Structure 1
Amino acid sequence: MESGMTKRDELDGKMTSMRKLAVVLIALGEFVDGYDLLIIASALIMLKPAFNLTASMTGLLGSIAFIGATVGLVIFGDLTDRLGRRWVYTFNLGFFVIFSLLSAFITNVTELFVLRFLIGVAIGADISASMALLAEISPSSKRGALSGALPQIFWTIGAMASQIVAIFLYMKFGNEAWRWMFGVSVLPAFLLLIGRSFLPESPRWLILKGRTEEAIQAFDRLGLPGEALVQSYSNIKEEKKASYLDLFRPPYTRQAILAFVIVGFSPLFAGASSVVGPYVFRYVGALSPIASLLSGTMIWIGGLIGAIIAFFTVDKIGRIPSTIIACLGSFLCSVMLAYSINIPLIFVTTFIVLAVFTWFGASSFWLFPTELLPTHLRGRAQGFGNGIARLVVAATAVLVTYGTAHFGFKTTIIALGSTAIPICLYALTCTQFEAKNKDLEEVSLDTNSYVNEKKISRN
């Protein structure tokens, strides 16, 4: 077994130009995600007076695309494993373009809610397919950087772009700028749709389905030795049927729970820096609209720094240690935020540092579902885990706005930040599931031999 794995690593370790392009085009889906799901944070500043939104409506409008993403993740997570990664990650972008364009022409809140929900469904579909594919086409030694940190880098760039675009459009169009903010997202999504149309299906998924000739061609298109690699994957465990219930059945039970707890509930202590940053600066920090948007942009600079740090460290220090560092740092930042409300410089700076820890951690959080569950369940794992996360993000947006209005910002942010502690302690008990530098089949129990060896010991 060891010699086979070493041979595969040698065959599969080269980063060819086509492989690099494929990784970038798949990860760029998170640019669209970051731009669109965060543009609402800026648009809320204009939508609140335009439609006389209450605090509860503001929070719900900030959350509705995340709720849609949950639906998309769950539905298309299953379809990703049944029909393939390529079908889903191209299909969803077409719908995203249509819904984004329509959202720029809404005339009432109901229409906006419906379209933001549908956009969320399209984004959720992309996450389930693209995250699975990234893990499956990345070499073991760089998998954390390429399938964990790189999507977060593009996510933060997309979020940062949304803030920059929002500032420019607000200065040009004033309170009507929100229409342009929604419509602009069509362009990068359309270009990405064209680029992805040239990419192959996941070779690992094709092997699982017994389509070996297509798998060889897919490896060849990535610039890798197709026939040799297909032979090295000959012991991948094939499943005739699968469902979401299989995520919780042996031998995957414990690692599935770990993945879903970490990726699903981490937004409780990190959501304030992503969804409602400009809103908090405007209505808690009492900054002007432009100052709020500028401060929101600084959040994403912090997030970008955190993701870049993770890009160079996650494959060295590992996923579990990165998670612990992120949890502890986020908790300390939450406490600092609670006691710096009346000191704008410290308040904004702490928010930025919170973003550093948030996206440093997210670069590991998102790896758990795709690394710890096997090929035939990988789309479902990402769908279920990130589906929980999107619901939690949606709830956090409501909790921050509602909690601040009724209980005060200090109480709200400390309560949310404190949720990092039990997640940190739980991660400390699961170090045996560290995936650093391990073959994807080994860590996910994706072969018959691994399943037979680990079925009892892990459960």
Structure 2
Amino acid sequence: MPETEPTRTQTATVSPPDAPSGGAAKPERFVRVITAIATLGALLFGYDTGVISGALPFMRDSTEEGGLGLTATTEGVVASSLVFGAAFGALLGGRLADRFGRRRAILSFAVVFFGGALGTALSPDATSMVVFRVILGLAVGGASATVPMFIAELSPAHRRGRLVSQNELMIVSGQLIAYTSNALIANFSDNEHAWRYMLGLATIPAVLLWCGMLFMPESPRWFAAKGRPGEALSVLRRIREHDAAQAELDEITERTHEAETGEMRLPWVRRLLMIGIVLNVGMQLTGVNAMVYLAPTLLESIGFGTKAALTTTIANGVVAVVAVSCGIYVYGRVNRRPVIIAGQTGVTVALTVLGGGFLLPESTGRNYLIIVAMLAFLFFFQGAIGTGYWLVTSEIFPLRFRGRAIGIAVFAQWIAGGVVTLVVPPVIEAVGGGTTFLVFAVINLGTLTFLVKLLPETRGHTLESLERRFRSYARV
């Protein structure tokens, strides 16, 4: 934090000039540090969503054997409880971020992450597990709504795609850590409570997130929206070249002053909200939760043992990390729209192949086809869809209610994800993986049609110039 912060009554024009920062390297390096700390929330998001895939097989054991005696139905409830908690966490996170600031919201969610992770690790029965998974979900949803927005608001326009995309990289890195730790614990620990260690490890990054965010600045755009331009300028001078800070603040302030009463009811805003909701619901209707939460179960269904399935799942995490790394590179150099449309096309094709694979007679070749289709799905999803959808969601909404609007869009995502996670296990059990994934393929064909018609391009614009451009939308 700066040694002396301006008071609320200072204006941007009377704030004393800071010394030159020594060029672009130092401000950009500081933005990278902020991104690295804030995205620990995304790491927790990824770990807590991925770890359950390894813990569920052990929680199916009876209580005498160290498990919780889960059935197919209660397994779906345990898995989906985090997702429904995340839905309301997203709404809460957006409102907290708009009212108290992005930084304070992330600090609060770090505390909830810690308590939820500890509670799940110590849960004595399925009911307690569901309660603490809901609590953990509040933090996951809050972080999913707040962290990308926080990074987008601090990033320079030419670096925003790459920096915001690191949020998705940390999500999949968290999932890879979860898959790897699950496999290590499963293969090298004979303890009947191995699943408790899997879940309890999430407390470590929660502590690191809380400690790190104590030293991070607030979003300058939040300061400006709250009528505190002096503090906004103070932060901008730490994260921009000295001459650019005042110009950026002037642009932010101009946009803030143009805001209209009841703006969320205006046609152009409702159109953006519709696009944000479709993007976020569409992300879950790819069936990604079935892959993330149920990958070991799906592999067991084609003949893998529990430990072998958990070990093979690591490949999912590796592919996801590689795919997001590729996505970060591409989104830093190419327009968002064509990459997202290409990714949605790839996901639709992969789901079709996956569904067809499950319908084939059992054979080694069929099993390899299913595994390849799963990995192809994850590559297209993580490299283009997951990365791009979060990025565009963080960019399209106006400043004055950005947190609230993102919260609504992400709330819709988590509700859709919760429904998918809840119904997929019994549906797969009833009709099989083939029919299930072919239905997902049809749904994704509809999403692809929507993207081709209505997805806007956001690359190469400041958040304020995007807002100016979107105001020209006359109707939904």
| Residues 109 and 142 in structure 2, CA contact (< 8 A), matched pair in contact too | yes
Q: Secondary structure at the match of 1:70?
A: helix
Q: TM-score, normalised by structure 1?
A: 0.90
Structure 1 gap ranges (5+) = 1-10
Look up the match of 2:407.
Answer: 383
Q: Find the aligned partners of 1:164 and 1:98 in 2 and give their Cα distance.
A: 23
Change (3 A) 1:15 1:344: farther
Is 1:333 matched up with 2:356? no
Aligned letter for 1:43?
A: A
How high is the sequence identity, in percent, across the aligned residues?
22
Q: CA deviation at 1:455?
A: 5.2
Change (3 A) 1:325 1:14: farther
Task: Choose which of 431, 435, 445 in structure 1 pairs with 2:458.
Answer: 435
| Residues 220 and 235 in structure 2, CA contact (< 8 A), matched pair in contact too | yes
| Residues 156 and 300 in structure 1, CA contact (< 8 A), matched pair in contact too | yes
Q: How does 1:87-98 map to 2 (within 5 A)?
A: 87-98=104-115
Look up the match of 1:5.
Answer: none
Q: Find the aligned partners of 2:335 and 2:25 in 1 and give their Cα distance.
A: 19
Look up the match of 1:156.
Answer: 172
Look up the match of 1:4.
Answer: none
Change (3 A) 1:28 1:301: same
Q: CA deviation at 1:241?
A: 9.5
Is 1:353 matched up with 2:376? yes
CA offset digits 1:331-351 (Å, max 9, x no partner): 111121123233222221221
Q: CA deviation at 1:286?
A: 2.4
Change (3 A) 1:115 1:242: farther
Q: How does 1:127-138 map to 2 (within 5 A)?
A: 127-138=144-155
Is 1:82 matched up with 2:113? no
Q: CA deviation at 1:398?
A: 2.4
Q: Secondary structure at the match of 1:199?
A: coil
| Residues 107 and 209 in structure 2, CA contact (< 8 A), matched pair in contact too | no
Change (3 A) 1:353 1:15: farther
Structure 2 gap ranges (5+) = 1-22, 62-66
| Residues 47 and 53 in structure 1, CA contact (< 8 A), matched pair in contact too | yes
Is 1:118 matched up with 2:142? no
Look up the match of 1:419.
Answer: 443
Q: CA deviation at 1:240?
A: 8.6
Look up the match of 2:289.
Answer: 271
Task: Choose which of 37, 41, 63 in structure 2 pairs with 1:29.
Answer: 41
Change (3 A) 1:32 1:346: same
Task: Choose which of 55, 58, 80 in structure 2 pairs with 1:46.
Answer: 58
Aligned letter for 1:278?
A: P
Task: Choose which of 375, 398, 406 in structure 1 pairs with 2:422.
Answer: 398
Q: How does 1:13-412 map to 2 (within 5 A)?
A: 16-49=28-61, 50-147=67-164, 149-171=165-187, 172-222=189-239, 224-225=241-242, 226-238=245-257, 247-269=264-286, 270-282=288-300, 284-341=301-358, 342=362, 343-360=366-383, 361-412=385-436
CA RMSD of aligned residues (A): 2.2
Change (3 A) 1:107 1:210: same
Q: Find the aligned partners of 1:239 and 1:439 in 2 and give their Cα distance.
A: 16
Q: Secondary structure at the match of 2:268?
A: coil
Aligned letter for 2:252?
A: Y
Q: Find the aligned partners of 1:217 and 1:439 in 2 and give their Cα distance.
A: 19
Aligned letter for 1:354?
A: F
CA offset digits 1:158-213 (Å, max 9, x no partner): 00100111112223144411111111110111012111110011001111111011
CA offset digits 1:392-422 (Å, max 9, x no partner): 2222222321111111111111101221111
Q: Find the aligned partners of 2:167 and 2:473 in 1 and give their Cα distance.
A: 32
Q: Secondary structure at the match of 2:46?
A: helix
Q: CA deviation at 1:109?
A: 0.7
Q: TM-score, normalised by structure 2?
A: 0.87
CA offset digits 1:227-286 (Å, max 9, x no partner): 44323433122489988xx5453331222211210122221113322222122112x222
Q: Find the aligned partners of 1:271 and 1:122 in 2 and give their Cα distance.
A: 18
| Residues 242 and 377 in structure 1, CA contact (< 8 A), matched pair in contact too | no
- Aligned residue pairs, count: 438
Bigger mean CA offset, 150-159 vs 171-180: 171-180
Change (3 A) 1:165 1:404: same
| Residues 32 and 163 in structure 2, CA contact (< 8 A), matched pair in contact too | no
Q: Find the aligned partners of 1:261 and 1:344 in 2 and give their Cα distance.
A: 33
